Amino acid sequence: MGQREVWRLMSRFNAFKRTNTILHHLRMSKHTDAAEDVLLEKKGCAGVITLNRPKFLNALTLNMIRQIYSQLKKWEQDPETFLIIIKGAGEKAFCAGGDIRVISEAEKAKQNMAPVFFREEYMLNNAVGSCQKPYVALIHGITMGGGVGLSVHGQFRVATEKCLFAMPETAIGLFPDVGGGYFLPRLQGKLGYFLALTGFRLKGRDVYRAGIATHFVDSEKLTMLEEDLLALKSPSKENIASVLENYHTESKIDRDKSFMLEEHMDKINSCFSANTVEEIIEKLKQDGSSFALEQLKVINKMSPTSLKITLRQLMEGSSKTLQEVLTMEYRLSQACMF
């Protein structure tokens, strides 16, 4: 046997081994770890979803998405379930996004997982947005990408001082999906365009001030808030809103601080109102302020293709329904993958 044949056999063996490893991982995820990756419990008047992968910042897997979607639909039809609460295990994250590592490994092994993952994730995002029961997302800790999709389309989003929000996709060759094309252009002024193109991070009460969260609660009161919600008897949407509003009103952390981007909103509205990425860059250069030049530096590090896709995505999404946006984003996601 010649050296070429030996190398060919070794290459085939390594590819076979890699494929088997990934398939084993996916099988294990489906049959063993999956049940523990997300907890679905009926407590009091509520269905409670707990994303339970704290070591992985509660990153979403396909099996988690499937379990949540299925249970959400069941609770929606259950007359004894009056609200749905979703939260993340641990102190670090609500959900840092989709588990891209597993998707990437599957793609390398020719396991065409991306179309299925994105399709079912977006179906879940739409289910959250159209949920007939009050939906309360406790966004404590890192909330990015897929974690935003699990929360922002729900009726109530409760941030704490440890909440860290961002849509960082333009830095990795993608675009702010999971319905980003719907909610981002609907934020005040051109704030959503700014957040989408730069990946700027919002923290704590600023997540509420930006309009991404509907309420702000001190993290030390989060457990009490959940208990009070679970103790409600056949609550209406108004009953739930009243409990959330009481906790929000009592919160003192950063109450007197203004929105961190308040002083820059005129510049954001002016520079990010342009219809092309080139015009935005030119406006930032012309502005010349330290803030504008800092954003210019950030934008210059992003994927140029992602920037152009993202700007068009938000412009198109500003007049579409959530379902229409998610359909558009699914097509975009597949075009970016291949």
266 in catalytic set: no
For residue 11, is it within any domain? Answer: no
For residue 192, is it within any domain? Answer: yes
Q: Which of 11, 14, 74 is nearest to 41 (CA)?
A: 74
For residue 117, is it within any domain? Answer: yes
For the beta carbon of residue 202, count every other beta carbon within 10 angstroms: 23
For residues 208-247, b (16+ Cβ closer than 10 Å) or e, as one string?
bbbebbbbbbbbeebeebbeebeebeebeeebbbebbeeb
From the list 105, 121, 169, 226, the catalytic residue is 169
**Pairing of β 164-166 and β 83-88:** unpaired
**Pairing of β 202-203 and β 164-166:** antiparallel
pLDDT digits (tens, 9 = 90+) for 255-310: 999 999 999 999 999 999 999 999 999 999 999 999 999 999 999 999 999 999 99
Mean pLDDT of 17-29: 44
> Which pLDDT band, with edges at 50, 70 and 90, does 1 fall under?
low
Average pLDDT, the chain: 91
- Site of tokens 């249970």: 71
Is pTM, for the whole model, over 0.75?
yes
From the list 97, 141, 145, 146, the catalytic residue is 146
Torsions phi, psi for 39 (to 5 deg): -105, 130
177 in catalytic set: yes
Mean pLDDT of 180-197: 98
For residue 99, is it within any domain? Answer: yes
User: How many structural domains are present in the chain?
Assistant: 1
For residue 241, is it within any domain? Answer: yes
From the list 37, 99, 121, 177, the catalytic residue is 177
**Beta strand extents in 245-323 (DSSP E only):** none
Mean pLDDT of 140-144: 98
pLDDT digits (tens, 9 = 90+) for 190-238: 999 999 999 999 999 999 999 999 999 999 999 999 999 999 999 999 9
Cβ–Cβ < 8 Å for 163, 219: no
- Higher pLDDT residue, 112 or 246? 246
Cβ–Cβ < 8 Å for 82, 42: no
| Predicted confidence (pLDDT) at residue 15 exceeds the cutoff of 60 | no
Q: In what order do the strands lie in the sheet with 46-51?
A: 38-43, 46-51, 83-88, 135-139, 156-159, 215-216
For residue 91, is it within any domain? Answer: yes
> Which pLDDT band, with edges at 50, 70 and 90, does 100 fall under?
confident
Mean pLDDT of 164-179: 96
For residue 1, is it within any domain? Answer: no
pLDDT of residue 111: 73
> Which pLDDT band, with edges at 50, 70 and 90, does 3 fall under?
low
Q: Give the residue numbers spanning the domain of 319.
A: 38-337
Residue-wise DSSP of 27-79: HHIIIIIHHHHEEEEEETTEEEEEE--GGGTT-B-HHHHHHHHHHHHHHHH-T
37 in catalytic set: no
2 in catalytic set: no
| Predicted confidence (pLDDT) at residue 34 exceeds the cutoff of 70 | no
- Torsion angle, CA of 229/186/192/337, rounded to 10 degrees? 90
Residue-wise DSSP of 104-142: HHHHHTT---HHHHHHHHHHHHHHHHT-SS-EEEEE-SE
Cβ–Cβ < 8 Å for 282, 289: no
> Which pLDDT band, with edges at 50, 70 and 90, does 35 fall under?
low
Which CATH number goes with the domain that contains 244?
3.90.226.10
Please compute, for residue 151, the number of CA atoms within 13 A of its CA located in the half-sphere on the CB side.
Answer: 35
| Cα distance between residue 143 and residue 139, in whole Å | 7
| Predicted confidence (pLDDT) at residue 29 exceeds the cutoff of 50 | no
Cβ–Cβ < 8 Å for 25, 31: no
For residue 28, is it within any domain? Answer: no
